[in-house]
Structure 1
């Protein structure tokens, strides 16, 4: 279950994806499969080759891309990998601290 983002934030993420950018969206997230995770960062791009290449820099396999018919395909990052990627991409300061506790 996702929560903690506004429609404006979601629209901005989708707009960036539509422009072919690598786009980041972090929100609260609860999933019984990952009980230790309190948030997820979705990293998307409408160019799957570009997204896969970007992910390879962080040892993310292209098979892990959540392919969506609506065009908003993305990697889901959480835990240590989430923090590592956000830090290296200069995105950590944009994420409220409460998301990463």
Structure 2
């Protein structure tokens, strides 16, 4: 279940994806399959080859891309890997913003 996300954040994420950029969107997320994790970062791009190449540098397999018919295919990042990648991308504010609100 996703929550704690603004419509304008989703619109901006989609706009970047549509333009072929690697786009990041972090929000609260609860899933019984992953107890103890409270946020997810969706990393998407309309260019799936570019997205797969981006993921490879972080040890992500292209098979892990959540393929969406609506064009917003993405990787889902959680836990330590999420924080590691956001740190390397210079985007830790995604995590801190959600921690302050939670």
- Above 0.5 in TM-score? yes
Give yes or no for the alignment of 1:11 onto 2:16: no
The alpha-carbon deviation at position 97 of structure 1 amounts to: 4.7
Q: Which residue of 2 aligns with 1:41?
A: 41
Q: Which runs of 5+ in 2 are unaligned?
A: none
Matches of 1:7 and 1:88, distance apart in 2 = 26
Rounded to whole Å, the distance in 1 between the matches of 2:37 and 2:61 is 20
TM-score by length of 2: 0.94
1:61 is matched with 61
Q: Could you tell which deviates more after superposition, 85-94 or 17-26?
A: 85-94
RMSD in angstroms over aligned alpha carbons?
1.3
Separation (CA, whole Å) in 2 of partners of 1:34 and 1:40: 11
2-structure distance, mates of 1:32, 1:93: 26
Q: Structure 1, unaligned stretches of length 5 or more?
A: none
Q: Is the 8 A contact 2:41 2:77 kept in 1?
A: yes
SS in 1 for 2:84: helix
TM-score, normalised via structure 1 length: 0.95
Pairs aligned (count): 100
